[in-house]
Chain A
Amino acid sequence: MLGRLSWDASPFYGVIPAIAASVVVLAAIGTIVLLTVMRRWRWLWSEWLTSLDHKKIGIMYVVLAAIMLARAFIEAGLMRTQQALGAGAGDVGPVGAEHFAQLFSTHGTIMIFFVLMPFMTGLINFAMPLQIGARDMTFPWMNSIALMLTIGGAGLVMASLVIGKFSTGGWTGYPNFTGAEVNPGVGPDYWIWALTLGGAGSTLTGINIVATIWKERTTGLDHLMWMPLFCWTSLCTALLMIFAFPALTVATVMLWLDRTFGFHFFTQGDGGNMMQYVNLFWMWGHPEVYILILPAFGVYSEVIGTFSSKKLFGYTSLVWATMAIAVLSFTVWLHHFFTMGASANVNAIFGIATMVIAVPTGVKVYDWLLTMRHGRLRFDVPMLYAVGFIVTFVVGGVTGVLMAIPPFDYVVHNSTFLVAHFHNMVIPGSLFGMMAGATFWFPKAFGFRLDETWGRRGFWFWIVGFYLAFMPLYVLGLFGMSRRMATYLHPEWQPWLIAAWAGAGLVGCGLICQAIMLYVSIRDRERLRDITGDAWDGRTLEWLAPSPPPEWNFGARPVVTGRDEFGERKLNDEAYPVPDRTAYRDIEIPANAATAPLIGIFAFLLAFAAIWWMWWLVWISAGAIFLLVLWRSMRFDLHRQVSAETLYQADMAHRRTILAHANGDIGSGAPMRHARGTEGYLAKERREREGQA
């Protein structure tokens, strides 16, 4: 009945696992109690979970990322503590070797699949449709399902803290270590199914993003080269998701068949081939790192343009560089296993291909720098992240090019040099980009800005902490320290690891500052209110809509006549024209759907049951999913009508607010900081009024 689930799966095999499990359980109970006491269940269900609004779905992705970031960071802190204390033989340090292996496996898996992936998916979901003047994603229901699958995957990783153990095979899960002979438990199965759910969600999201960008652009954006750069990077990322994720799916399904049904894809004997797993994994894995970084590049492009008050320098080259990176990212996967024993020529070719990617990336860096040159620079928090990124990312890029040289890679492969390198790419590259984007679009999402002071503190802790935590690892890697080691016999490494530990501590302070920032911002939301919808003197269409935008985004979809449409309109005093009633039509917006979260729940159950071999539950869940889809396919009243009059009145109201604000009638607490558009517009209106008088 319960498959291989029994009392042995309880987390009482160690103090730290028991504490971690209790925290998860208590947090779950706490959330349930809180929701019940505050009578928020209905709100949660009908305002959020069943919503098909791309903005809400985007926000939920980011919330998921934030929660998972907290967990994965705590694990990083534990690992750092262990290594700082781990000099010597035997069981030194607080964490045993087995548990340490679980920690780096969950940390890596979570950070990639359940922090950065949902974070960037969330930002794209939120901002991209607004930027192209769309009303929603092309497939709103599928969008919600993708979110729910991702949450289900994250839920599996959380469940593994309480029931059973997670994999010890690292985030890469190489067999035969993750095969059935070496690792018969449920750990690798948890890993496989978490990835499967997350990966299925990502594939669906990829399809959705491409279809949206291709089919929903507003009038005028037939000129693709007028799209904001973030849309370009979203497009390329989505294409990578569509073409790369099948490789991960194939690899993990084969591994699962090996483990569960005794197939021989990657087994040691019987004609299996472990190297094929490594191939498949990195065929996905290398594009994946660009899936994570390209959206961040997009955010940086928007941020640097906006906070330099300039059009992007070299827009066209940025677009082509993005596409070049996307294509080239499929040609380099072998650099992850130069040491596997391919011939010198093969290694050389992949080494050179890898270095070639540095070229378009370099183009981008110069474009960003030249955008800032002669700009009117404003160092708000998003811009701080962008500048910190440019400097730090170059360091990581250089170490990457070093490792692209096969002989050099033979020396540092799987050392902490590699750990330093990829953290150098993902933290200042991807994560900082996501944080910049979150700060940048926060006022758009919620109608008030994030507190500047705490935001800055957070940034400085993060960047200083990052350097302190990871630069020592470069040194240690050159000393010969392998990655994934709980203890070591070289006492001379310890000072460096203590420094890295202190760095992680600073990063932790950064996270705390960000939590305080969130609290302070909500508390002081009146002071931080974004009345006009244009919190940063933005240049692209999303800043035209009110903050937060109505469900339909734009009453009448804007017509685009050039790049940086909204910025240009402000320069020409055309930013807020009197809405033209005839431009409005009745529209349909997607009604809420309970089927999506239900499908997510059954997908979670299916995966959980497959992990524990409860086959009856697998079939029931699969059947339930089938019936839900079938049911949905027989419903045709899936939309809600919004009348043209409603749209028109909403736009009029928004315009009145803007004018009142520009006149100084409202919002004294939050002077509009960059009122170019309105000032000009106001002057014009005064002239007209005086002319009439």
Chain B
Amino acid sequence: MTDTTTDSQGVRPHAGIPLEHPDAETAHATERAVFGFWIFLMSDLVVFALLLATYAVLLKGNSSAPGPAEVIELAYAFPETLLLLTSTLTLTFATVALREDRARGVYGWTFLSLALGAGFLALEGAEFAGLINKGHVPQVNGFLSGYWLAIGTHGLHVAIGVVWGLILIAQFWIYGFCPAIRSRLVRFSLYWHMLDVVWIAIFTVIYLPGSLVS
């Protein structure tokens, strides 16, 4: 028996990475990074699941006004949803462009996705400002605490995503399309898509039932 193994052996291919790898080392590096990021996303999803579960618990026990009937409107949530879902599509175009090495496509689509994300944040900001004006702040009761925290945590994630995306664009600009940054864009897109999934859950658990009560 001899001790032979190369260091890049043990790469277990990971489906769904929209990148071509120049060599085994890069492939390995990308795969472990993307795999680790998947695990992180799972952990993050548990956070959102628990926020929504807590929201449901607090909703049920809430006796004091205001309740969902006074607070929840679809007027903001509907365009917000459209913006966010579209941004997922445009970001997918960005990763396709990345795979095909079309620099302008990558810049353009990523930037558009971030702009849509920023639009989402602007609408959400307007929604929150409206709530504050009406005095519907999280300090009022358990329902509002749960509402603000669940939606706010998602919004915070989107905001972080926008900053991250801008940094990525800058890094592409400075360092060119090197493997490390390519792999970051792949992870960023996973993150962004997850926020969509989370939003759909929020929409289903918070907005839809809430709007049905009113």
Residues of A within 8 A of B (CB): 135, 138-139, 203, 206-208, 210-211, 214-219, 221, 242-243, 245-247, 249-250, 254, 257-258, 261-265, 267, 270-273, 276, 280, 283, 554-559, 561, 569, 574, 577, 579-580, 582-583, 585, 587, 630, 633-634, 636
Contact = CB atoms under 8 A, between A and B. Distances in A.
Given A272-B142, A276-B57, A558-B5, 6 more contacts: A243-B42, A257-B138, A270-B141, A271-B61, A633-B167, A634-B174
B86 interface: no
B15 to A, nearest CB: 14
Contacts of A249: 47
B5 A218 contact: yes
A636 B184 CA distance: 13
A216 B10 contact: yes
A243 B43 contact: yes
Interface stretch (B115-123, B128-136, B143-151, B198-206): B143-151
A344 B4 CA distance: 61
Contacts of A207: 36, 39-40, 43
B126 interface: no
A242 B46 CA distance: 9
Contacts of B46: 243, 246-247
Contacts of B1: 559, 561, 569, 574, 577
Contacts of B3: 554-559, 577, 579-580, 583
7 contacts: A217-B10, A265-B145, A270-B140, A271-B143, A556-B3, A559-B5, A633-B167
* Residue in B12, B144, B145, B167 whose Cβ sees the most chain A Cβ within 10 Å: B145
A135 B5 CA distance: 12
Contacts of B54: 250, 254, 265, 276, 280
B41 to A, nearest CB: 10
A636 B179 CA distance: 11
A520 B11 CA distance: 45
Nearest to B10: A217
Given A270-B141, A583-B3, A633 B58 contact: no
Contacts of A283: 50
- Which 5 residue pairs of A and B lie closest in terms of their CB atoms, listed nearest first? A271-B142, A246-B46, A271-B141, A271-B62, A263-B145
Contact of A210 (B11, B39, B171, B178): B39
Nearest to A276: B57
Given A214-B35, A243-B43, A247-B46, A265 B7 contact: no
B2 A580 contact: yes
Nearest to B139: A262
Contacts of B139: 261-264
A208 B36 contact: yes
Given A135-B7, A138-B32, A262-B139, A254 B2 contact: no
Contact of B149 (A138, A254, A262, A273): A254
A636 B180 contact: yes
Contacts of A247: 46, 50
A630 to B, nearest CB: 7
A38 to B, nearest CB: 38
Interface residues of B, number: 49
A215 B11 CA distance: 7
B196 interface: no
A582 B4 CA distance: 8
Given A138-B36, A139-B36, A207-B40, A219 B9 contact: yes
Contact of A242 (B6, B11, B42): B42
A85 B63 CA distance: 49
* Residue in B11, B35, B143 whose Cβ sees the most chain A Cβ within 10 Å: B35
A211 B39 contact: yes
A215 B12 contact: yes
A630 B166 CA distance: 12
Interface of B: 1-7, 9-12, 28, 31-32, 35-36, 39-40, 42-44, 46-47, 50-51, 54, 57-58, 61-64, 138-146, 149, 167, 171, 174-175, 178, 180, 184
Contact of A211 (B35, B57, B142): B35
Nearest to A221: B10
A245 B31 CA distance: 25
* Residue in A208, A214, A243, A554 whose Cβ sees the most chain B Cβ within 10 Å: A214
Nearest to A634: B171
A557 B141 contact: no
A560 to B, nearest CB: 10
Contact of B36 (A211, A250, A272, A557): A211
A271 B64 contact: yes
A249 B180 CA distance: 31
B168 to A, nearest CB: 9
Given A139-B36, A249-B47, A585 B149 contact: no
B58 A271 contact: yes
B167 A257 contact: no
A268 to B, nearest CB: 11
A13 B7 CA distance: 60
B40 A264 contact: no
Contacts of A211: 32, 35-36, 39
* Residue in B1, B28, B63 whose Cβ sees the most chain A Cβ within 10 Å: B1
A276 to B, nearest CB: 5
A183 to B, nearest CB: 18
A545 to B, nearest CB: 12
B43 A246 contact: yes
Nearest to A238: B39
B63 to A, nearest CB: 7
A242 B42 CA distance: 8
Contact of A219 (B10, B138, B180): B10
A359 B61 CA distance: 38
B142 A273 contact: yes
Contact of B7 (A138, A208, A585): A585
B42 A218 contact: no
Given A207-B43, A262-B139, A556 B180 contact: no
Contacts of A203: 43
A577 B2 contact: yes
Contacts of A583: 2-5
Contacts of B142: 264-265, 267, 270-273
B66 to A, nearest CB: 11
Contacts of A580: 2-4
* Residue in A215, A218, A280, A636 whose Cβ sees the most chain B Cβ within 10 Å: A215
A215 B37 CA distance: 13
Nearest to A250: B50
A186 B11 CA distance: 49
A557 B10 CA distance: 11
Contact of B6 (A245, A264, A585): A585
A536 to B, nearest CB: 22
Contacts of B7: 135, 557, 585, 587
Contacts of B171: 633-634
A60 B206 CA distance: 45
A247 B46 CA distance: 8
Contacts of B42: 242-243
Given A139-B36, A583-B4, A630 B149 contact: no
